[in-house]
Homo-oligomer: A and B are copies of this chain.
């Protein structure tokens, strides 16, 4: 389903795992279901990934590298224009946040397994800091007086939109994230 059947099982398993983690949560899906969705089986899953936690970690690493590409896209699409990059970030974040098949695994994973001592904790923590640093620099480059507080606002909005979308769906406040975020951006830049 998720991946073409004719690629190595390792990739099929990762794709299926990411899809199912997004849909049901990390603790909400079992390794059997992942293996089956990947048109594979539990044994080959455990031969490639020593444990479910390791599989989660690999999935997050892949999501992180895609997030890097996401960031590079924004810079490439609006070269030298920090303000335009910021607007583009808001627009793309809004797309990701309100789409079922979205790329917010990092946010979700953070909320799901931060309370336990998961091997991916430090990885997520580092990513969180990296993303914040990037966004602060972008806001500063766009002329924000208080870039730190601006990033606080954007962070809360995007995390809230993600949560709200999951629980309230298309009728909730998450669908107005872009509108709200653009307003906040304008407010901070003038």
Q: Which residues of A does B touch, CB under 8 Å?
A: 24-25, 27-28, 107, 110-111, 114-115, 124, 128, 149, 151-153, 155-164, 166-168, 172-174, 176-177, 179-180, 183-184, 187
Majority secondary structure, A binding face: helix
A–B Cβ pairs within 8 angstroms, 6 of them? A25-B115, A152-B180, A155-B160, A156-B161, A159-B173, A162-B163
> Copies per complex?
2
Contact A179 B149 (CB under 8 A): yes
- A176-B160 contact given A28-B115, A167-B114, A187-B183, CB 8 Å threshold: no
User: Which residues of chain B have C-beta atoms less than 8 A from A24's C-beta?
Assistant: 115
User: Which residues of chain B have C-beta atoms less than 8 A from A184's C-beta?
Assistant: 153, 184, 187
